């Protein structure tokens, strides 16, 4: 077979080498160039949750949806490269037997030389095309996966985020995704390349001598068996290593996010010790992983070396005894090298594949999580939301049989102010989190303007509800971008400044060198707690929601600033249903309805003037705070 291939090259092709070579290169570039231009879309619309599979190989193949042709072409190009390599050794055998050992060759030497160059050129072209197509496939597949993961995580429910460490998610979206990139770009294509090299070169060996060919693959079953054994070992070790990497990422992320607290309490030694312990555990798991790898190499090296030694010895004896020619022996020596060492590489790729397969499982677990149905519920009032809210025997539990809220019932008329008072953990924040459907209540009914809350989509509710958190989060952007965050239209400078003035932050912003273009740093680290709170309030003011939730939003400001914000909020709350969570009774004295919560139960409700006269928690808190303020005023008077 290879002799006939060689004859075609020498008799028909080589005499017109310059023209044929250029035509071959042009044809290859046109063919594979067309493949490179195919499917330029990002395929971001693919639903990977329903596309992927628990069966890892099947899932990885589906992950490349839209790039199957390119990847197949990459493997095919490797096959042509292997064919050119095998043909080179067959040509070498022909040259040695017909030109060096004897002088019976009928073709000019220059034609033989050009044949070698042509085959080397073809091998290089197809190797380049294979690498390029494989890189294109892997990079585009992984880019799409990253985009999907980010979008998917954004749409996962609050319950998932409350139970999953941020560091774990970061590890899976970075380290594991990069492991999949290496799988597609190196390991999978490498296995295809090695398999084709083995098949093509083994066929070439059979053409030379069947006995030598069979002797040359004696070690193959043993190498594959060892590779599969180590594959299972490495899978377990790598999964443990990745889990500890996630723990280390979480430790680092928490430390950097809470660096102010760490410094304030001088806990650097404790944090360093904690990090070193987690890092040491990662080191031990990594050491175990590398030990398994290191055991594989000498075993496979010895087997491959013995196989080659036996093959060379048998081949040399056959050449000496005249059973094969010298040219055949030289061709055999080259071909067997390209069987044994790629086979050794196949074992390496099989072992390393375990990393990619483990990473696929870890990524798949995220993708397999159900998204929050953000658009579930189709009712949208034609006249907009008025704001009447009724809780009718509402209960809620984060976990089964562990209720956090118990039979909550009250009515909030449209435009009224509802205040929630209670100790930490009494259920105040949980109650208001039911309104934007961050969580679904377990039993009872919540009505908004006469319709069950589930009739409204989560997207609609969150557009109509403005929230100022107890601990405001600011992005590492300019003050202007933070204030306008969440507003789905272009805002004028006047509108932004008006919201900032109402939140009593405008004058402070003007004192910064870059004004509204000042970068606030990660999580607003360059601003004081009160400044961050007021920027968050300005952000909510600009949104102009129908329903307001103020989660202890004046806790981080001084008394004077609190008074300014309260004045601004009074005008904002006019004709808007507002829920206020506060610890200071002074902040809720004017509320239309005050709910006192204790262990998830409403123990008291009414107006301030009524509750302060009744024995209970509200009266106790009021008396205590009044006494503290009176004593503080007396101390300040005496000091003055």
> Each residue of 211-256: pLDDT tens digit?
888 888 888 888 878 877 887 788 788 888 888 888 888 888 777 7
Least confident range of 95-109, 125-139, 447-461: 95-109
DSSP 480-509: HHHHSTT--S---HHHHHHHHHHTT-HHHH
Q: How confident is the model at residue 117 (pLDDT cuts 50, 70, 90)?
A: very high
457 & 326 share domain:
no
If one counts every other C-beta atom within 10 angstroms of the C-beta of residue 402, the result is 7
Distance CA 438, CA 436 (A): 6
Residue 373 belongs to some domain of the structure:
no
- Which of the listed residues 304, 332, 367 is the one where a domain comes to its end? 367
Which one is predicted more confidently, 326 or 525? 326
pLDDT of residue 556: 56
Task: Give the model's pLDDT for residue 523.
Answer: 61
Which DSSP symbol is given to 187?
Answer: I
Contact 207, 1 (CB under 8 A): yes
Burial class (CB in 10 A: 0-12, 13-18, 19+), 609: exposed
Q: Does residue 408 contact residue 596 with C-beta atoms inside 8 Å? A: no
Tokens of 268: 């650097």
Tell me the pLDDT band of 105, cut-offs 50, 70 and 90: low
Q: State the Cα–Cα distance between residues 550 and 435, nearest whole angstrom.
A: 13
Do the domain assignments include residue 376? no
* Structural domain contains residue 375: no
Count of domains for the chain = 2
Verify that 285 and 239 share a domain, yes or no. yes
CATH code, domain carrying 138 = 1.20.1560.10
Does residue 343 have a pLDDT over 90? no
Tell me if 384 is assigned to some domain: no
Query: Phi first, then psi: what are they for 404, rounded to 5°?
Result: -105, -35
Judge whether 565 and 546 are in contact, CB under 8 Å.
Answer: no
pLDDT tens, position by position, 32-45? 444 444 444 444 45
pLDDT tens-digit map of 581-607: 887 787 788 889 999 999 999 999 999
Cβ neighbour number for residue 225 with a 10 Å cutoff: 11
Residues 211 and 351 in one domain: yes
Q: 549 lies in a domain?
A: yes
Looking at the fold, whether 581 and 449 belong to one and the same domain comes out as: yes
Query: Helix, strand, or coil here: 577?
Result: strand
Picking from 337, 367, 397, the residue at the C-terminal end of a domain is: 367
Asked if the structure places residue 635 within a domain, the reply is: yes
Percentage of the chain modeled with pLDDT above 70: 86
Residue bearing tokens 């000042």: 518
Element (H, E) at 391: strand 389-399
Range(s) of the domain holding residue 489: 389-639
**Model confidence at 318: pLDDT above 80:** yes
* φ/ψ of residue 513, rounded to 5: -55, -40
CB atoms within 10 A of CB 170: 16
CA 397 to chain centre: 30
Q: Which residues contact 553 (CB under 8 A, 6 or more apart)?
A: 468, 469, 470, 533, 536, 537, 565
CATH code, 558 = 3.40.50.300
Distance CA 209, CA 122 (A): 26
* pLDDT reading at 486 higher than 50: yes
Contact 149, 46 (CB under 8 A): no
Quick check: 591 and 607 in contact, CB under 8 A? yes
Say whether pLDDT at 287 is over 50: yes
Task: Determine the longest span between alpha carbons in the chain, in angstroms.
Answer: 122
Distances (CA, A) of 343 to 62, 188, 607: 27, 14, 82
**Residue 377: per-residue pLDDT:** 86
- Tell me which long-range contacts 277-284 makes (C-beta under 8 A, separation of at least 24): 278/244, 278/247, 278/248, 278/251, 279/248, 281/244, 281/247, 282/241, 282/244, 282/245, 282/247, 282/248
Within 13 Å and on the Cβ side, how many CA atoms surround 243? 10
Do the domain assignments include residue 617?
yes
- Of residues 10 and 395, the one with the higher pLDDT is 395
64 confidence band (pLDDT: 50, 70, 90): confident
Q: Are residues 314 and 439 in the same domain?
A: no
Q: In the predicted model, what is the mean pLDDT of residues 115-126?
A: 90
Residue 390 scores a pLDDT above 90:
yes
Kindly tell me if the per-residue pLDDT of 116 is higher than 70.
Answer: yes
279 and 420, same domain (yes or no): no
Residues 546, 479, single domain; the answer is: yes
pLDDT at residue 174, rounded to an integer: 87
Of 367, 399, 427, which residue constitutes the final position of a domain?
367
Residues 167 and 243 in one domain: yes
Instruction: For residues 265-273, give the mean pLDDT.
Output: 81
E strand or H helix at 191: helix 189-208
Is the same domain home to 321 and 395?
A: no
Looking at every residue in the chain, the average pLDDT score rounds to 81
Q: Which of 336-340, 542-546, 612-616 has the lowest mean pLDDT?
A: 336-340
Are the CB atoms for 73 and 189 separated by under 8 Å? no
Residue 317 near residue 198 (C-beta atoms within 8 A): no
Q: Which residue has the tokens 């039979």?
A: 407
Q: Do 398 and 357 belong together in one domain?
A: no
Q: Tell me what pLDDT residue 45 has.
A: 58
pTM: 0.72
What backbone torsions phi and psi does residue 582 show, to the nearest 5 degrees?
-150, 160
pLDDT at 553 (0 to 100): 66
Of the listed ranges 12-26, 360-374, 477-491, the one predicted with least confidence: 12-26
Q: Same structural domain for residues 354 and 398?
A: no
Write down the pLDDT at residue 41. 41
Task: Count CA atoms within 13 Å of residue 185 on its CB side.
Answer: 14
- The answer for residues whose C-beta is within 8 angstroms of residue 285's C-beta and 6 or more apart is 237, 240, 241, 244
- Within-domain flag for 542: yes
448's enclosing H/E stretch is strand 443-448
308 shares its domain with 240: yes
């Amino acid at each position: 077979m290879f002799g006939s291939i060689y004859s075609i090259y020498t008799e028909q092709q080589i005499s017109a080498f310059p023209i044929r070579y250029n035509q071959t290169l042009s044809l290859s570039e046109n063919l594979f160039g067309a493949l490179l231009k195919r499917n330029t879309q990002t395929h971001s619309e693919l639903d990977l949750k329903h596309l992927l599979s628990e069966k890892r190989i099947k899932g990885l193949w589906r992950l490349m949806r839209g790039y199957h042709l390119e990847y197949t072409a990459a493997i095919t190009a490797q096959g042509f490269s292997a064919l050119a390599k095998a043909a080179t050794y067959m040509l070498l055998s022909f040259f040695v037997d017909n030109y060096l050992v004897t002088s019976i060759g009928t073709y000019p030497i220059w034609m033989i030389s050009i044949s070698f160059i042509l085959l080397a050129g073809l091998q290089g072209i197809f190797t380049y095309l294979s690498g390029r197509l494989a890189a294109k496939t892997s990079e585009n597949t992984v880019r799409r996966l990253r985009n999907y993961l980010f979008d998917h995580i954004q749409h996962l429910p609050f319950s998932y985020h409350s139970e999953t460490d941020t560091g774990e998610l970061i590890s899976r979206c970075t380290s594991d995704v990069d492991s999949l990139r290496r799988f597609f770009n190196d390991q999978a294509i490498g296995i295809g390349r090695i398999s084709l090299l083995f098949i093509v070169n083994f066929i070439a060996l059979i053409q030379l001598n069947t006995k030598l060919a069979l002797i040359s693959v004696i070690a193959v079953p043993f190498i594959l068996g060892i590779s599969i054994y180590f594959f299972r070992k490495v899978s377990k070790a790598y999964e443990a290593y990745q889990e500890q990497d996630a723990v280390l990422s979480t430790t680092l992320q928490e430390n950097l996010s809470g660096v102010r607290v760490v410094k304030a309490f001088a806990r650097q030694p404790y944090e360093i010790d904690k990090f070193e312990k987690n890092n040491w555990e990662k080191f031990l798991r990594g050491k175990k992983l590398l030990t398994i790898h290191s055991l594989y190499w000498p075993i496979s090296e010895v087997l491959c070396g013995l196989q080659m030694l036996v093959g060379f010895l048998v081949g040399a004896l056959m050449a000496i005894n005249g059973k094969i020619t010298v040219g055949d022996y030289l061709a055999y020596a080259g071909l067997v090298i390209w069987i044994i060492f790629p086979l050794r590489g196949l074992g390496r790729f099989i072992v390393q594949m375990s990393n990619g397969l483990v990473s696929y499982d870890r990524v798949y677990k995220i993708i397999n999580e159900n998204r929050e149905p953000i658009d579930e519920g189709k009712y949208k009032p034609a006249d907009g939301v008025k704001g009447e809210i009724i809780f009718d025997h509402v209960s809620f539990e984060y976990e089964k049989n562990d209720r956090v809220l118990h039979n909550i019932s009250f009515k909030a008329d449209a435009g009224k102010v509802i205040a929630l008072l209670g100790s930490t953990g009494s259920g105040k924040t949980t109650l208001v989190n039911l309104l934007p459907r961050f969580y679904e209540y377990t039993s009872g009914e919540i009505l908004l303007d006469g319709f069950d809350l589930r009739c409204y989509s989560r997207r609609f509710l969150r557009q109509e509800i403005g929230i100022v958190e107890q601990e405001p989060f600011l992005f590492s952007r300019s003050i202007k971008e933070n204030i306008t965050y969440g507003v789905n239209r272009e805002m004028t400078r006047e509108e932004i400044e008006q919201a900032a003035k109402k939140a009593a932050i405008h004058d402070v912003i003007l004192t910064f060198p870059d004004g509204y273009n000042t970068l606030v740093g990660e999580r607003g680290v360059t601003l004081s707690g009160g400044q961050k709170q007021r920027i968050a309030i300005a952000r909510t003011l600009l949104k102009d929601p129908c329903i307001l939730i103020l989660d202890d939003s004046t806790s981080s400001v001084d008394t004077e600033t609190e008074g300014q914000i309260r004045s601004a909020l009074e005008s904002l709350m006019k004709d808007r249903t507002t829920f206020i969570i506060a610890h200071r009774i002074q902040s809720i004295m004017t509320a239309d309805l005050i709910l006192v919560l204790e262990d998830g139960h409403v123990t008291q409700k009414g107006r301030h003037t009524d509750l302060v006269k009744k024995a209970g928690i509200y009266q106790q808190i009021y008396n205590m705070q009044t006494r503290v303020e009176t004593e503080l005023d007396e101390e300040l008077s005496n000091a003055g």
